Structure 1
Amino acid sequence: MLKRTVLGLACTLFLAWVVYVIWANKDRNMGLPPADVQFRSFTEVGRDSGRGNLVGIQPYMLPVDYSSEEAFFQKLNGYFSEARKKGWLKAKSIVVLPEYLGTWLVVAGEKKEVYATPHLTEAVKMLAYSNFFTYMSSVMQAPKEIGDRTSYAIMTMKAGDMANIYQQTFSRLAGNYDVTIVAGSIVLPEPTVKERKLALDSGPLYSVSGVFTPDGSLSGLVRKSFLSPREQLFIVPGKADNNPVIHTPAGKLAVLINQDSWFPQSYKNIRKQQANLIAVPAYLKYKNQLGVTWDGYEGHPTPADAVADVNKITEKEAWDKFSFGTRGPAEAEVKKGIAVFLRGDLWDLGTDGSTLMLSDSLSYGKRNEGAGLSCIWL
């Protein structure tokens, strides 16, 4: 009798396992949808003098654009192709992409429900359920000090695929178009550059931006130093003093990921390394955020030179006054730079921002809810 009970239980568990495996792997291979790669606005500052240019691609991303390596490449390649048709991609061009562009590769290869749901919380649940055992293993291995174990576990368990797609896509684009690419940001565990390629190790998560050279190799990684309160729950900050300045055909390039462009410490490093160009991959998390009242430096003490403006100016005015457009020239003698914001319909997350350009003076790209292309001639 006991043997029959054990055998019956084993059969039930086996059948449950089979059903789960079938469900978890169903609908993971999606056909590629037509990619909308049309720019809704174009902005050009200056004239081509042969010294190169900064090109800001403000993409409009959808969840399905992250469903596979080919979908991700197809979307970005369409934007690069349109930029080349404008005559804005040359041997000395530096193409700048936004913050978090690579981070959403965390959903690559998942069930179609992840891309179809309008709610990020539901997408995260589906991702966890359909990778249950790997997910639970990652949760249990999360360090005790991690405040958001779910985000940590999901980013960790998908890190290998994310890094591979990021490396392959931007290496391919840089080589195909013969340009330097600031490839937006991605969250990965202990990322490093080995043999001119992206490599991972066991360790904490960092938010990083890779810079790819015209031969397709990874020239350097920049770690975000000043994290938002949300990021602080599962990501470790880098050190502003340790971030490299990248040598490019157009000059010495400093990359400041979003909030890093607001802090005086970042400009001490830039000045020390004598950069003459700044690229800012950026993201604003709410719709129409530029119009709201600015409440100071999020998650960090507000510097003395900005305290008087807290709750008195808008977010846009704060970007103008305290980010790279003002601090770059005043604190590091850098007079050329560009900030590019992520736009899209990514579940129920909001986005805002239009490309911010520094060319001796500060100006904005044309504001629109879709993709935008901007160029600053050096």
Structure 2
Amino acid sequence: MRLFFRLAIGLAVLCGLVVYGYWSQQRPATHYLSDLRVHVAVNQGVPGEKGNLLGIQPQLLANDFQNLERLHRKLAAYLSQARSAGLLNPRTVAVLPEHIGTWLMIAGEKPEVYEAPTFEEAMQWLAAGNPLGYLKAATESRPALTADTQLRLKAAQMAQDYQSVFGGLAKEYAITLVAGSIILPDPRVEGGQLRAGEGALFNVSVVFGSDGQPIGQPQRQLRADTSYQPWVSSVAGSGIQALDTPAGRLGVLIGRDSWNPANLRELEQQHTELLAVPAFIPEPNRWAVTRPPDAPQDATNEAEAWRSSLTGRYAGAAICVFSRGTLWDIGSDGHSFVTQAGQTSKDTAAGGAPQGRQHHTAALFNLWL
């Protein structure tokens, strides 16, 4: 009798594992109506031969990352509308927000990931749908740091998808594209391909040329944001690079790296003419209220911290781009803006957008050079 029960229990466990293995491999597509509208919030200067800096502030939801086709469709819609408005040319440098590539961690997952009410629950479904990969990633992660494991889970595929989507868009629209940022382990460009390594995690941005290929190496965030310092590494010493683009020499500072005057001085020493700042604020209603502890001394809130960090401190043309939308229970905040010769542009609603709404929807921020 004992033998019978043991066999029955073993058979039940085996059946359960088979069913779970089959379930974990299923990736049924779900229907989703995406809002592809975008308006021109700022269009400063006069069109000329020098080109332009174009900030693309997308409206993003978790479902936009279900597959690469959906993400491409949304971003291509924004770029197509920019082209229709006369804002794209061979010297255009377009800029996307911080972490737009990081969310590729959820591409190709089960519907439960996108339908989850909270980020925590979504990550539980992510782990459940990738049991073997999650166990492997856990062995390479820092102890007790779940976010580290989640980002290593599909790092190699994320790097490939990042280049496929954003390099593809740069080539399709014949522009230079600062592809926001992505968190990867020890990322590098080898043989024209972005690859993930096996070392520490870094928040990086890659610039793609009009041929779809990376320009230079990934620009690492020099000082990781306080919200993810436990599992994302900062760069020891200086790691700023200046990249040659059709519009001029370009520097990229990710997020709060732009708050450090020493970084701006180094860019000027490298004779950069353009500065792109992909940014992200993961909480709503912080822009005009909260003062971060590491904000510049003359800033009384988040808005002043971002704007004053560039206004009067960088002599070239600069653009700071945030994202909008809600991913699960993660909100967003931040008002994208452009500066030139140390002066910040005034926001001008255009393209049919009601005054005051330009920072809460998908928008384009353009600066003619």
2:304 corresponding residue in structure 1: 317
2:344 corresponding residue in structure 1: 362
CA distance in 2, matches of 1:369, 1:54: 21
Which digits, 9 at most, give the CA deviation of each residue in 1:317-354, with x for residues without a partner? 22222x2233213xxxxx21100001112111121122
CA distance in 2, matches of 1:34, 1:355: 26
> What TM-score do you get using the length of structure 2 for normalisation?
0.92
Shift of 1:239: 4.4
Shift of 1:41: 4.2
Higher helix share: 1
1:340 corresponding residue in structure 2: 321
Q: Are the counterparts in 2 of residues 281 and 339 from structure 1 also a CA contact under 8 Å?
A: yes
CA distance in 2, matches of 1:249, 1:160: 30
CA distance in 2, matches of 1:95, 1:165: 19
Q: Are the counterparts in 2 of residues 325 and 337 from structure 1 also a CA contact under 8 Å?
A: no
1:25 corresponding residue in structure 2: 25
CA distance in 2, matches of 1:2, 1:289: 63
SS at structure 1 position matched to 2:87: coil
Shift of 1:73: 1.1
Mean Cα displacement is larger for which, 132-141 or 273-282?
A: 132-141
1:184 corresponding residue in structure 2: 180
CA distance in 2, matches of 1:176, 1:292: 40
CA distance in 1, matches of 2:166, 2:224: 25
2:301 alignment partner AA = T
SS at structure 2 position matched to 1:346: coil
The answer to whether the aligner puts 1:231 opposite 2:228 as a matched pair is: yes
2:364 corresponding residue in structure 1: 373
Mean Cα displacement is larger for which, 31-40 or 227-236?
A: 31-40
Which digits, 9 at most, give the CA deviation of each residue in 1:228-281, with x for residues without a partner? 222111111124622211110000000000100001231232123111110000
Q: Are the counterparts in 2 of residues 187 and 205 from structure 1 also a CA contact under 8 Å?
A: yes
1:346 alignment partner AA = L
CA distance in 2, matches of 1:364, 1:204: 40
CA distance in 2, matches of 1:265, 1:78: 37
Q: Are the counterparts in 1 of residues 187 and 195 from structure 2 also a CA contact under 8 Å?
A: yes
2:101 corresponding residue in structure 1: 102
2:202 corresponding residue in structure 1: 206
Shift of 1:25: 2.8
CA distance in 2, matches of 1:274, 1:359: 15
Over aligned residue pairs, what C-alpha RMSD do you find?
1.9
Change (3 A) 1:189 1:37: same
For structure 1, the 5+ residue unaligned runs are 330-334
Aligned-residue sequence identity (percent) comes to 35
Q: Are the counterparts in 2 of residues 29 and 109 from structure 1 also a CA contact under 8 Å?
A: no
Query: Following superposition of structure 1 onto structure 2, how do residues 103-122 of structure 1 map, counting pairs within 5 Å?
Result: 103-122=102-121
Which digits, 9 at most, give the CA deviation of each residue in 1:183-228, with x for residues without a partner? 0000111110112221122111110001000011011310001112
Question: Size of the alignment, in residue pairs?
Answer: 358
1:138 corresponding residue in structure 2: 137
> What TM-score do you get using the length of structure 1 for normalisation?
0.89
1:327 corresponding residue in structure 2: 313
Change (3 A) 1:129 1:60: same
2:170 alignment partner AA = A
CA distance in 2, matches of 1:133, 1:7: 26
SS at structure 2 position matched to 1:134: helix
Query: Following superposition of structure 1 onto structure 2, how do residues 80-91 of structure 1 map, counting pairs within 5 Å?
Result: 80-91=79-90
Mean Cα displacement is larger for which, 238-247 or 89-98?
A: 238-247
SS at structure 2 position matched to 1:129: helix
Shift of 1:31: 4.3
2:314 alignment partner AA = G
SS at structure 2 position matched to 1:243: coil
For structure 2, the 5+ residue unaligned runs are 350-357
CA distance in 2, matches of 1:218, 1:103: 17
Q: Are the counterparts in 1 of residues 30 and 111 from structure 2 also a CA contact under 8 Å?
A: no
SS at structure 2 position matched to 1:265: helix
Shift of 1:3: 5.8
2:352 corresponding residue in structure 1: none
Shift of 1:6: 5.1
